[in-house]
Amino acid sequence: MRRLLDRPLSENDLEENTRLVAQRVDESRGTDQGVASILVFRIGAERLALDAEATHRVVPISTVRRVPHRSSETFAGIANVGGELLLVARLGASLGLIAQERSSHFIVIGGAGARWAFAVDAIEGVRRVRRSELVSPPATVRHAVDGCAQSVYCDRSVEGNDSLITLLDGAKVCALLARSIA
C-alpha cells in the first residue's frame, strides 16, 4: 500500500496535477475551505511541501550553468526551463538542509520578474490535506528551515521521522531565494 502511494508520478501526471491544483478550486470540485492542496517534495532527508497554488511549474531537471562571480552555495546559476532562462537557487542550502543527493526536478515559483527555480531530489505529488491537520511547526523545525516553515503536517501513512511534512510559506521561500543573489 505504502509503495503504491509513494510511487513517483509520471511526468504527465505531474504536469497535469500541478496545473489542476494550481487553478483556483472550482465549484464542481467542492470549495472546501478546510482543504489545502500541497505539493510534497524531498530535499535530502527532508519532506517539504508548498501550497500548490504558490508553485508555477514542476519540470524535470535540466542543465544548470554557473554564473561567474554570482554562483554560490545558495545560488546555482541559470537553467533553460521551457524556453525561459530562469535563475536557479539551492533551496536546500538556503534552508540549511543537508546537501542534496541527485536532483530530479525543478519547482518554479514566484511571480513574473521574480521567478525562481529550485531543484528538489524527488517530487512525491500533490496531496489534499485538511487545514485542521496542519499544526504550527515546533520551534526546532521553525529554526531549522530558516523561518520559512508555515506549518507541519503529519503523514499518518508513514511512521517515524519521515511522517513529518514541513509546509513552507511560498512568499518567504521566494524572499529567501532572492537573498541568494543579493
178 touching another protein, by CB under 8 A: yes
Task: Enumerate helices (H) and strands (E) in the chain, giving the number of each.
Answer: 5, 12
Cβ at position 75, least distance to another protein in Å: 9
179 touching another protein, by CB under 8 A: no
Dihedral of CA atoms 11, 176, 115, 49 in degrees, nearest 10, equals 30
98 touching another protein, by CB under 8 A: no
Q: Give the three-state DSSP class for 181.
A: helix
| CB nearer another protein, residue 171 or residue 178 | 178
Cell numbers linked to 172:
518567504
Q: Which stretch binds another protein (CB under 8 A): 27-35, 44-52, 75-83, 100-108?
A: 75-83
Report the relative pairing of strands 122-130 and 35-43 from DSSP bridges: antiparallel
- Please name the residue ranges forming H helices in 38-116: 91-95
Cβ at position 79, least distance to another protein in Å: 6
122 touching another protein, by CB under 8 A: no
CA distances from 18 to 51, 69, 133, 176 (A): 11, 34, 22, 23
111 touching another protein, by CB under 8 A: no
CA distances from 75 to 46, 112, 115, 152 (A): 20, 19, 14, 26
Q: Which stretch binds another protein (CB under 8 A): 2-10, 39-47, 64-72, 97-105?
A: 64-72
Map the footprint of another protein across residues 44-63, applying CB under 8 A: 62-63
Q: Which of 40, 52, 79, 119 binds another protein (CB under 8 A)?
A: 79
174 touching another protein, by CB under 8 A: no
Residue numbers of the site for another protein (CB under 8 A)? 62-70, 77-80, 82-87, 114, 178, 181-182
